[in-house]
Amino acid sequence: MSLPIVPTLKIEGSLASVWTDITRDIDLETGLHLKYGIDANGPLDCVADPGECSFSAQNWAKPTFGRPQGYYSPLHASVRSGWTWGVSIRVSLRDPTTGIWYVKHRGKARVIDPVAGTYRDRLVPIVSHDVMLELDETDARELAIQTDKTESELITAVLDSLPSESQPVSRDIDAGIDSFGYAFWDLGDGVKATGLINDIAVDSYAFIFVKGDGTFTVRNRHTRVDAASSGTFTDSTMHGFAAPNSLDQAFNQVRVTIHPPTIDAAATTVLYADQAVRSIAAGATVEFWVTYSDQDDVARTRIGALDVVTPVLATDYAGNHLETGLGADVGAFLAVTMTPFGSTALVSITNSYFLTVYLVDGSGNPFFQIRGRGVYDLGPQTYEASSTQAYGTRPLAVALRYQDDPLVAQAYAEYIEAQRHSLTNQPQTVEFLANVSTALMTQALAREPGDVITVTETMTGFASVEAVIQSVELQYSKGGILTCRWGLAPVAPFEMWELDVDAFDSDTVLGF
């Protein structure tokens, strides 16, 4: 018996920069599975995990399709033109009722694994990942210190600093709410882009994910709270529902720590100094990175810097043709250029002298330094919110990297404690068969992370509870059977009102 509502599947590969439909070569016996969004639903799970889509291509010869054997083996002589690791993949599903196509995965083929053996199943398992995997693997280092920027501006700066091939295909970024006095002053040798984006998201309690169509999306905390429910799910429409079953996600003592930085008044602080003699061969150019650190600290604690000064001859460096420093002063033959960033600098030195030049002072000591205004973390500040609960004390420590507003920190602690001290409104997952009705099919295809739904489930006691979709998971099987599973998280712990935005109501609480 066939199900009444069957979506149409389309899988495309960008072959020679042209989107090409490869659906007829896909093995639907093994089906297709995709998942994207924020995989967990803890209080600090604000950024998506790498999205993934897996399916298998048929690799045997099929002359009626113009398909030779080995068509999807990247190293085969008969490989399809443009097919290789890293090829862009796009997966779409068409709602049979509305005719609308929904892109549910946009990524790059990471795994292409042809099954060996002429007499085996001759399939090619393929795994494609969305841009979150590239952000996981790409360093964010070439960033200047940002001053008085919102979270949206900081996230944009991180994305703009990355190689073009690692950037999202499109962006949908809410306006920022918080203003950060100083950011990116503590990167050192660099962090992965996702790690830095996650810190910004947690600092501002924003939520970041990639939609099915590849759009990098940032939702600020006000948007998340204000979102209206997109649908209601009850016992009769769900065939799977998970509620909390332990205290693992209950927290009634929340401590939020911020690190307001201290800034030097003048650009005279030594940020970096060579500890070993540096030499530049005749006619050569050397390029090297330096990391700023507290020169008065034996441990050389890393710091940030503002107003970094390009090294000045005699003040910041000297050149001598003898390593002892007793030879001729030839520093004038050195050309020094520098590109400063928040906590590092890229230095280039060219030697136009006919002999090797050593960067030493008159006594043969290493002499190359960089000056500027140091940015330091001299001590944390911690703010707390707590309540008395029958289960005892469940603490949660929240460390904010760039947030420096104590009022925000206190409100942050109160918000999280109110949201998480009870398990009453914390549904975990909803699962349903989309083919059962036109309404469910549209919900399965149209919903994205960040959308809000309402859930009622009799046996667990959930009654008209609003939850936000954290992650989307779809399983497409032979015959067009589509199973949908959403990871959920709680929305606001109370009705909030925002200054200059909402009208005050006696039942609401001032939001942050």
- The partner residues of 279 in beta bridges, in order of sequence, read 358
In 316-426, which ranges are E strands? 334-340, 344-351, 357-359, 369-376, 381-386, 395-399
Domains in the chain with CATH codes: 8-135 (2.40.10), 263-376 (2.70.40)
**DSSP character at residue 353:** S
Nearest to 306 by CA among 201, 399, 181: 181
- pLDDT by residue for the chain (512 residues), tens only, comes to 445 799 999 999 999 999 999 999 999 999 999 999 999 999 999 999 999 999 999 999 999 999 999 999 999 999 999 999 999 999 999 999 999 999 999 999 999 999 999 888 999 999 999 999 999 999 887 888 999 999 999 999 999 999 999 999 999 999 999 999 999 988 877 689 999 999 999 999 999 999 999 999 999 999 988 889 999 999 999 999 999 889 999 999 999 999 999 999 999 999 999 999 999 999 999 999 999 999 988 677 889 999 999 999 999 999 999 999 999 999 999 999 999 999 999 999 999 999 999 999 999 999 999 999 999 988 899 999 999 999 999 999 999 999 999 999 999 999 999 999 999 888 999 999 999 999 999 999 999 999 999 999 999 999 999 999 999 999 999 999 999 999 999 987 645 545 444 444 444 445 67
**DSSP character at residue 2:** -
**Pairwise CA distance, residues 390 & 136, whole Å:** 40
Cβ distance 254 to 384 under 8 Å? yes
Concatenate the DSSP letters of all residues of 136-196 into one string: HHSEE---PPEEEEEHHHHHHHHHHTS-GGGS-SEEEEPPP--EEEEESS--TT-EEHHHH
Residue for token digits 């609480």?
509
Residue 1's pLDDT is 43
Helix, strand, coil tally for the chain in percent (to 5)? 15, 40, 45
Concatenate the DSSP letters of all residues of 405-422 into one string: -HHHHHHHHHHHHHHHS-
Residue 80 burial class via C-beta count within 10 angstroms: exposed 0-12, middle 13-18, buried 19 and up: buried
Looking at this protein, which amino acid is placed at residue 315? T
**Pairwise CA distance, residues 223 & 432, whole Å:** 27
The pTM of this model reads 0.88
In 395-503, which ranges are E strands? 395-399, 429-433, 452-457, 462-477, 481-490, 496-497
Burial 85-116 (b: 16+ CB within 10 A, else e): eebbbbbbbbbbeeeeebbbbbbbbbebebee
CA distances from 139 to 159, 202, 342 (A): 11, 19, 14
Residue 237, token pair as written in the block: 């429409």
The sheet carrying 170-173 orders its strands as 170-173, 215-219, 207-210
Residue 26, token pair as written in the block: 């896909």
Residue 484, token pair as written in the block: 């949908």
